[in-house]
Structure 1
Amino acid sequence: MPIAKWKIKGIVDDYDTCGCCGRRGLKRTVALMPLDADGNEDGTPEDVAYYGTSCAATALGWTQGKVTDTARAAQAEQNQRDNYARRMISIYAPVEFAPVRDKARVYYGRNPHQRTRGVKASEEVAKLLDEARATLADTTTGPARPSRIEDFRRYLVIFTSDERILLVHSLPEEEAECQEQTAAAQRRANQIRCTVRIVAALDAEAARDVAYADELTREWNTKAWQAAHA
Structure 2
Amino acid sequence: MPTWKWTIKGIVDDVTECGCCGRRGLKRTVAMMPLDANGNEDGTAEDVVYYGTSCAADALSWTQGKVTDTARTAQAERDQRDAYARRMLSIYAPVEFAPVRDQARVHYGRNAHQRDTGVKATEEVAKLLAEARATLADTTTGPARPSRIEDFRRYLVIFSSDERIYLVRRVPEDETERQEQAATAQRRADQIRGSVRVVAALDAEAARDVAYADDLTRDWNTKAWQAAHA
TM-score by length of 1: 0.97
Residue 199 of structure 1 aligns to a residue whose secondary structure is: strand
Partner of 1:50: 50
Q: Distance in 2 between matches of 1:150 and 1:63?
A: 44
Aligned-residue offset at 1:45:
0.1
Of residues 168-177 and 134-143 in structure 1, the stretch that sits farther from structure 2 once superposed is 168-177
CA RMSD of aligned residues (A): 1.1
Q: Distance in 1 between matches of 2:42 and 2:72?
A: 22
1:119-177 CA-to-partner distances (Å, cap 9, x unmatched) read 00000000000000000000000000000000001001111111111100111123443
Structure 2 counterpart of 1:87, which letter? R
Residue 115 of structure 2 aligns to a residue whose secondary structure is: helix
- Tell me the percent identity: 82
Partner of 2:125: 125
Within a 5 Å distance, the mapping from 1:69-108 to structure 2 comes to: 69-108=69-108
Asked if structure 1 preserves the Cα contact closer than 8 Å seen for 2:6 and 2:33, the reply is yes
Partner of 2:172: 172
Asked if structure 1 preserves the Cα contact closer than 8 Å seen for 2:95 and 2:103, the reply is yes
Aligned-residue offset at 1:184:
2.4
Residue 21 of structure 2 aligns to a residue whose secondary structure is: coil
For structure 2, which runs of at least 5 residues remain unmatched after alignment? none
Matched, 1:152 2:152: yes
Partner of 1:222: 222
Aligned-residue offset at 1:14:
1.3
Residue 116 of structure 1 aligns to a residue whose secondary structure is: coil
Of residues 197-206 and 179-188 in structure 1, the stretch that sits farther from structure 2 once superposed is 179-188
Q: Distance in 1 between matches of 2:178 and 2:228?
A: 17
1:98-130 CA-to-partner distances (Å, cap 9, x unmatched) read 111001100000001111211000000000000
Q: Distance in 2 between matches of 1:4 and 1:65?
A: 17
Aligned-residue offset at 1:4:
6.4
Going from structure 1 to structure 2, the CA distance change for 1:50 and 1:88 (only over 3 Å counts) comes to same
TM-score by length of 2: 0.97
Going from structure 1 to structure 2, the CA distance change for 1:86 and 1:155 (only over 3 Å counts) comes to same
Q: Distance in 1 between matches of 2:137 and 2:176?
A: 33
Asked if structure 1 preserves the Cα contact closer than 8 Å seen for 2:161 and 2:192, the reply is no
Structure 1 counterpart of 2:154, which letter? R
